[in-house]
Amino acid sequence: MERISWNQYFMAQSHLLALRSTCERLMVGATIVRDKRIIAGGYNGSVSGGVHCIDEGCYVIDGHCVRTVHAEMNALLQCSKFGVATDGAEIYVTHFPCLQCSKAIIQSGIKKVYYASDYKNHPYSLELFKDSHVQVEKVELVQVSIHLEQAIESNKSND
């Protein structure tokens, strides 16, 4: 069985997180990684305890749903909440980050952004990433499927 790469593993984690999103306008997931260890994860959703877009409908102002905290912000705020350093970390996101999240990523000391899908890639985000020496790389998730039976079989043969 072929071993999954780190990039595919972390990007798959972000896609899994996106499935927890509570706003159907766009389901986004983000995973913060340091030294090949996942330190935080987030998806776009309401503030804790708030009503969900999927239950009450989106709260749209000027074409944007204002109810949700973005996935990248949620992942960063999880670090802030639990006192986890983000300096020098990397972030894996399912979609290219919006301008506000791009600035927060830069400000938190994250040094590399991996994203799976282009999404309204703002030229100012790209300019800020470049000026701040934050690398940006597109890593598409290639079809990942887990064959449990295969895994069990190979575990048996390793006994």
Q: How far is the CB of 147 from Zn ion (least distance, A)?
A: 34
Residue 101 marked ligand-binding = yes
Query: Which listed residue (2, 24, 56, 72) is catalytic?
Result: 72
- Closest distance of CB 146 from Zn ion, Å: 29
Nearer to Zn ion, 127 or 153 (CB): 127
Q: Are 14 and 139 in contact (CB under 8 A)?
A: no
Q: Say whether 98 counts as a known binding-site residue.
A: yes
By three-state DSSP, how is residue 155 classified?
Answer: helix
| Residue 153 appears among annotated catalytic residues | no
- Name the residue nearer to Zn ion (CB basis): 39 or 70: 70
What's the DSSP call for residue 35? T
CB 42 within 8 A of CB 30: yes
Least Å distance, CB 23 to Zn ion, is: 3
CA dist list (Å): 96 to 7, 26, 70, 78, 80: 16, 12, 12, 20, 22
Q: What residue numbers does the annotated binding site for Zn(2+) cover? A: 70, 98, 101
